[in-house]
Amino acid sequence: MLNVKATIETKDQTFYGRDFLTLLDYTPKEISKLLENALEIKNNKAAYSEALKGQSLGMIFENASTRTRVSFEVGMTQLGGHALFLSPKDMQIGRGEPVKDTANALSRYVDAIMIRTNSHELVEDLALHASVPVINALTDNYHPCQAMADLLTILEHKGSLKGRKIAYVGDGNNVAHSLLVASAKVGMDMTIATPEGYEVNAEIFEKAQKAAEETGAKIVQTHDPKAAVTDVDVIYTDVWASMGFEQEQEQRLKQFFDYQVNDELTLLAKEDFIFLHCLPAHRGEEVTAEVIDGNRSVVYDQAENRLHAQKAILLALLSN
């Protein structure tokens, strides 16, 4: 069996016991290491089948999920551990139990807590009080596990990350924020094209820009989708109305009309560009069926990579 400890821990790369709330907390070197580990685990699945034997992951889902829930649960099983699906509807936190008490009590049972909820502050609060690692599985601000799978997919299909160009077209949302931070950290140029009023959070943009200064990545915001996708290696989009914003759907359909990723737009990208979408997708809205179901789309590879990227994250945070 492969020595997981040796693979994952080195003197300047210590992951054990840390939270995974945003990639802003991880160095470029650490992100590269996690990607390297994800590839290793993907290629040698059997070698890690007992790596987290006896360990449990508590998964709190306040919002719907297909990929995140299944990939974390299956990921824990494949590592020899166990995952529990916890719905706030059935938990005392859903009846007003303080986050502090939930965090402390859960920490006595499970080895890590994964949470999907709208409020990023709630996740920070949970992490503050929990004595075990807390993993962000999507807040209104960030989706770091998705961004790790996105990087892994680009790396596999393009062979490198540094110096590559990615365009994100659509809503300046959680997925855009994490992709922005991820790109900045790995030295990938990223242009985000959003309608006016839907730009990324200014504070997060500033933090990403600081990270980009260290790696040489060029991070740009625009309202021009055509300029954004010209000559890029990767085109990425996400839904126009994220969970919690459904009541704005009608209004957004009009405002995002010019930001659809369709054949006309993708013609401006490099001929061998790849199309990414975190899913779930709305065909005919943010992307046409021709593009998402076309031969440049790698969205199912990307979905699969959630599993491998998260196994690397779980191993890094839980192996000592």
Respond yes or no: is residue 252 known to be catalytic. no
**Residues 52-111, interacting with ligand NVA (CB under 6 A):** none
307 binds, among ligand CP, ligand NVA, none (CB under 5 to 8 A by kind): none
Tell me if 137 sits within 8 A of 114, measured CB to CB.
yes
Is there a contact between 207 and 181 (Cβ–Cβ < 8 Å)? Answer: yes
> Can 116 be counted among the known catalytic residues?
yes
Active site (annotated) includes residue 306: yes
Q: Which of residues 217-246 bind ligand CP (CB under 6 A)?
A: none
Residue 242 contacts which entry, ligand NVA, ligand CP, none (Cβ below 5-8 A, type-dependent):
ligand NVA
Residue 174 lies near ligand NVA (rule: CB under 6 A): yes
Token pair of 221 as six digits: 């915001």
Residue 182 — φ and ψ, nearest 5°?
Answer: -60, -45
302 binds ligand NVA (CB under 6 A): no
Nearer to ligand CP, 138 or 186 (CB): 138
Active site includes 283?
no
Dihedral of the alpha carbons of 138, 139, 142, 146, in degrees to the nearest 10: 10
The verdict on whether 209 is a catalytic residue reads: no
Least Å distance between CB 153 and ligand CP?
Answer: 12
- Among ligand NVA, ligand CP, none, partner that 141 touches (CB below 5 to 8 angstroms by kind): none
| String of contacts with ligand NVA for each residue 119-148, x by CB under 6 A | -------------------x----------
How far is it, in rounded angstroms, from Cα 307 to Cα 309? 6
Among 113, 179, 208, 239, which residue interacts with ligand NVA (rule: CB under 6 A)? 239
Told to check if 310 binds ligand NVA by CB under 6 A, we report no
Does position 278 interact with ligand CP (CB under 6 A)? The reply is yes
Q: How many CB atoms lie within 10 A of CB 109?
A: 11
Measured from each CB, the residue nearest to ligand CP is 68
Q: Which is nearer to ligand CP, 91 or 279 (CB)?
A: 279
146's tokens: 């998705």
Residues lying near ligand NVA in the complex (CB under 6 A): 138, 173-175, 238-239, 242-243, 278
Active site positions, annotated: 116, 143, 146, 238, 278, 306
Residues lying near ligand CP in the complex (CB under 6 A): 65-68, 138, 146, 278-279
